[in-house]
Each structure stands twice: as structure tokens, then as C-alpha cells.
Amino acid sequence: MQVIICGAGQVGWQIARHLSGERNDVTIVDYNPDLVRRATDTLDVQGVVGFASHPDVLEQAGAADADMIIAATYSDEVNMVICEVAHSVFDVTRKIARLRAQSYLQPAYSDLFRRDHLPVDVVISPEREVAEAALQRLMVPATFDIENFLAGRARLLGIALEEDCPVIDTPLRQLTDLFSTLRAVVLGVRRGERLFAPEAGDQLFPGDQIYVFSHADDVDRTLEIFGKTVMRQERVVIIGAGNVGLSVAQTLERAPGRMRVRVIEANRKRAEIAADALERTIVLNGDGLDMELLEEAGIRRADAVLAVTDDDKTNMLASVRAKTAGCGLAVALVNDPGLTPLMAPLGIDAFINPRATTVSSILRHVRHGRVRQIYTLGDAEAEVMEAQVLSTSPIAGQLIRDVDFPEGVLVGGLLRGEELLRPRGRTRITEGDIIVLFALSADVPEVERLLQVSIDYF
């Protein structure tokens, strides 16, 4: 597949890294020659320096033969023009645009992106993706990572194991026997710097970070088995009233149980906008690092703090200060992946990486076959992929134990009709099943081959 990626920032670079590693023909375009050089020096991609919205620049990048164009520059308007030029001049089949401004995404303007208006096939909103990720962290606070799959029927849970975990030193095959009715599977284990797909004889140890795929109804039981107390959030303090913070606050206002929310925003104008948009939430104007203001927001009694300003260090320091004051859970928005190793030593319970959520969302629309969802783990080390099994797939009709999956691939679950099946070796994969797979990044191309339907992709 020939793909043009416009924008060589962190999102564009990560997408290029994924796609070039899977033997796609990738060209990256950016007006900054240093960013283009970084991409061409470190990845197997071609680079073009220039403004990606200019037809001659896209022509130089090979738009006439491109199957897909991904517009991920820093400007919403440039991204939309790129898609317009790609459609009108080069007839590119698939056009994906990243848009930040929420005004473009209001339901009243849904006709804007029709093919005869602005021909954008897929719109990715980082703010909406991040707000959803933040809400999921708050709803299941005992996890360091969480993602919904199968239309909410199942969840991927990131759980950090501690000394008091009841199943420490227990081989995974024994867990299957001990909890035979539990619809949950350990898909990935991070031990130190290494993320791997565990085998049946592997044991779990304190300090491990595990990824568990669980039926939505079994989430609480799964957490308890792995030593986590199921908590419910009643009081939340949000630091930052930008698009993400405001979206989370509005959703929490509508949530059942009348959760008590306080918002702190440093920018007075933005604080006034948030106060007008929110009905029951108190908005405080001031510095989220100010202890007196945090006290006024009730940080000592808060169940959780969500720090989502546009400054990573502010988010981290505010989270640490809130935890020191007695707040039960701290979630920080962190753009720089280089800062994530500091989360655990600082006592920050969970973090959200906007670039990772955006990359996952874009990849969901890039993969071959009937891939419905993708979630990227760590620094693009692995993916959890949800896909439909078609009759042309090599795995259709086979027992799970007979499929030649790579060592870094595990089956998390199968949805057959309305029933979510716990995968076993004797489970037969049938046409029409929705399958969820964990795959280390090196094994993703083989997974795509097993799902095989690139001809149906477009």
C-alpha cells in the first residue's frame, strides 16, 4: 500500500514507523527539513520537504499513485485542504484528517465533510480521544491503563501487581483452573523494560505490569483476583479547562450518581467559558499548583485528580502535590513519552498519552482486513486488535490450537453473535466471529496476513 503522511511530528512519525515496518511504501511530507531528515534517517520512508497542501508538493510525494493520505499537520485548516487537493486533483481513495477545533465536529455541521463538500473520509479528534481515555481511567481507578473493546462488552485492563496480590507466583494455567468461570485472559506482561506475551507456564511476580482482557461484567472480580480494591469516584478535581478538561467535566455532570466535580483553570477567559458551559460544576480561576487553591477545591477529600493542562510538567507536579495532600488517585496528561518512566517513582497512578491515543485511532482506519479497533501499548511495542473473521481468512474454520500464531500473539476473546467466548485451545474460529488479538509489534504483519482481506479494504 502506498501511503502519504503529511506532518512529521510525533504522531506522523509514529504512524510512519508502524506502516513502514509493515512493508508499506510510505512518504512523509513536512515543511521542516529537520523533521523530514529525522524520519528518513531513522525509518524506511521517503521524505519530501514542502507545504503538504500545495498540489506540486503532493505530486512530488507520489499522490497520483497513493492509496491513502493521512493529514496530521498542526493546522486543522491545512489538513482539510490537503484532503481536498488529494481528492480533487489526485483522486486519492482514502483521506484521513486530524482535527482539533471542536467547532468543526459539532453535529449541526456534520454535512461539512461530505464528498461533495470537504471530502474527508475519516476525522480524528485528539481531544475527544483523550477525553474518553481520561474518563475510562476515572471509572476504573485501580488500573493504569484501560480500553473498551467489542462495543463495550469487554475491556483491556492494565494492572500493576504488588506484594499483596493473591495470585503471585501462580502459573497462568493454574489460574484457569482456579477461576474456571472467570471470563478474563492475561494477554501481556511487562517485566522491567520487556513486554511479552506470556505462556501457560509463566508466573506473575510483584512489580509486573499486566494487560488483562476481561468481559465487562467480570471487571470487578478480575481486579479483586489481582489484588485491587474496586473503588467508586464521588469527588473529582480537574486541573485544566481546555477542550479535554471541559469535555470530561461535562460528561461527569451527566453521569449517574451526581459526581461532585471541581475545575481549576489558570486562564481567566477560559475559566469563564468553562463556567458558562457547566451547570453544577464549580470552576476556580488560578494556578493548579497553588496549594491554597487546591485546598479550596477540596483536594484532601477528593477521590481523584485529573491534570490535563497543556504543560506536561504542570500536570505531573500538580498530580504529585494532590497525592501528597491525600487525594486517592492521580491521573496526568503527558505528551512527552520520555517522561513516562517517572510516573511510578512520583506516585502518579496513571497517565494519558495523547499521541498514543491519536496514533491508535488512526491505525484503526489504516489496517488491512475488517479491523474494527486497535489500541497501541507502551511505546508502540504491541497492539491489541479487534477484527472480523471473513471466509477468506486462513484462520476461519480452525481450532485456536491449530492456528500457527507467532509466539508474540495471543487470543483475548471471540464474540459470536451476542456471546463473548473465553478462548480455549479447542475453540473453533468461525466466519463472522469478532476476534481480539494481542500482538507484539514485530508480529503485526503476520496477524494481518492471518486476517487477510486487503483486497476488501477499499
Residue 150 is part of a domain; what is its CATH number?
Answer: 3.30.70.1450
**In whole angstroms, what is the distance from residue 209 CA to residue 187 CA?**
11
- Determine contact, residues 433/414, Cβ cutoff 8 Å: yes
Nearest 5°: phi and psi at 26? -115, 135
Residues 354, 58: Cα–Cα separation, whole Å = 27
**What pLDDT, on a 0 to 100 scale, did the predictor assign at position 72?**
92
How far apart are alpha carbons 348 and 175 in whole angstroms?
Answer: 29
Domain boundary among 301, 330, 352: 352
pLDDT along the chain (458 residues), means of 10: 91 85 86 94 93 95 93 93 93 90 77 78 83 80 85 90 90 87 92 90 92 93 89 86 88 78 94 92 93 92 92 93 90 83 83 80 68 79 88 88 91 91 90 93 84 48
Let me know whether 202 and 258 are in one domain. no
Contact 294, 239 (CB under 8 A): no
Specify if 435 maps to a domain. yes
Query: 65 with 31: CB under 8 angstroms?
Result: no
207: in domain: yes
Interaxial angle between packed helices 10-21 and 33-42, expressed in degrees from 0 to 180 and rounded to the nearest 10: 30
Query: Is there a single domain that holds both residue 201 and residue 269?
Result: no
Secondary structure (3-state) at 68? strand
pLDDT for the residue 128: 81
397 lies in the same domain as 444: yes
For residue range 214-224, list pLDDT tens digits in order. 999 999 999 99
The Cα–Cα gap between 436 and 423 comes to 10
Per-residue model confidence (pLDDT) at position 120: 86
Q: Does residue 240 contact residue 265 with C-beta atoms inside 8 Å?
A: yes
Q: Are strands 304-307 and 329-333 parallel, antiparallel or unpaired?
A: parallel
List the one residue out of 357, 384, 353 whose CA is nearest residue 156. Answer: 384
Number of Cβ atoms within 10 Å of the Cβ of 152: 8
Long-range contacts of 26-33 (CB under 8 A, 24+ apart): 27/2, 27/3, 27/61, 27/62, 27/66, 28/4, 29/4, 29/5, 29/57, 29/58, 29/61, 30/6, 30/73, 32/8
Assess whether 343 and 256 both reside in one domain: yes
**Gap between the Cα atoms of 327 and 303, Å rounded:** 6
User: Which of 352, 367, 390 is the C-terminal boundary of a domain?
Assistant: 352
d(CA 443, CA 448): 9
Q: Is residue 230 part of a domain?
A: no
Contact assessment for residue 161 and residue 211, using Cβ atoms and an 8 Å cutoff: no
pLDDT of 89: 93
Strand partners for 332: 307, 351
Same-domain status, 170 and 241: no
- Domain identity same for 54 and 77: yes
Greatest CA separation for the chain: 64
Please report, to the nearest 10 degrees, the dihedral formed by the alpha carbons of residues 310, 312, 316, 318 taken in order.
-30
Question: How many domains is the chain built from?
Answer: 4
Which of these, 226, 280, 276, 225, lies nearest to 252 by C-alpha position? 280
Closest among 377, 379, 324, 314 to 346, alpha carbons compared? 324
175 and 62 in one domain?
Answer: no
DSSP label of 399: B
Q: In this structure, are 376 and 434 located in the same domain?
A: yes
What does the block give as the cell for 165? 496480590
Degrees (nearest 5) of the Cα angle 332, 216, 219?
65
Same domain (yes/no): 258, 346: yes
Number of Cβ atoms within 10 Å of the Cβ of 32: 12
CA distances from 131 to 134, 152, 324, 426 (A): 5, 17, 25, 40
d(CA 133, CA 85): 33
Of 322, 352, 382, which marks where a domain is finished? 352
- At residue 249's C-alpha, the angle toward residues 290 and 363, to 5°, is 105
- Looking at the domain assignment, is residue 148 inside a domain? yes
- Which pLDDT belongs to residue 222? 93
Q: Is 144 contained in some domain?
A: yes
Q: Are residues 16 and 119 in the same domain?
A: yes
Q: Tell me the CA distances in angstroms from 214 to 368, 422, 447, one per residue in order.
A: 26, 9, 21
Residue with cell 517522561: 339
On whether residue 395 sits in a domain, the answer given is yes
Indicate if 295 and 187 belong to the same structural domain.
no
Residue 60 maps to a domain: yes
Please give the Cα distance from 375 to 367 (Å, whole number).
12
Question: Which residues face 195 on adjacent strands?
Answer: 190
Contact, 195 vs 250, CB < 8 A? no
CA dihedral 20→23→27→30, nearest 10 degrees, is 0
Structural domain containing residue 276: 235-352
pLDDT of residue 239: 96
Number of Cβ within 10 Å of residue 214's Cβ equals 27
CATH number of the domain where residue 101 is located: 3.40.50.720
How many angstroms separate the CA atoms of 7 and 419, rounded?
A: 42
- Do residues 434 and 361 both lie within one domain? yes
Inter-residue contact 70 to 15 (CB < 8 Å): yes
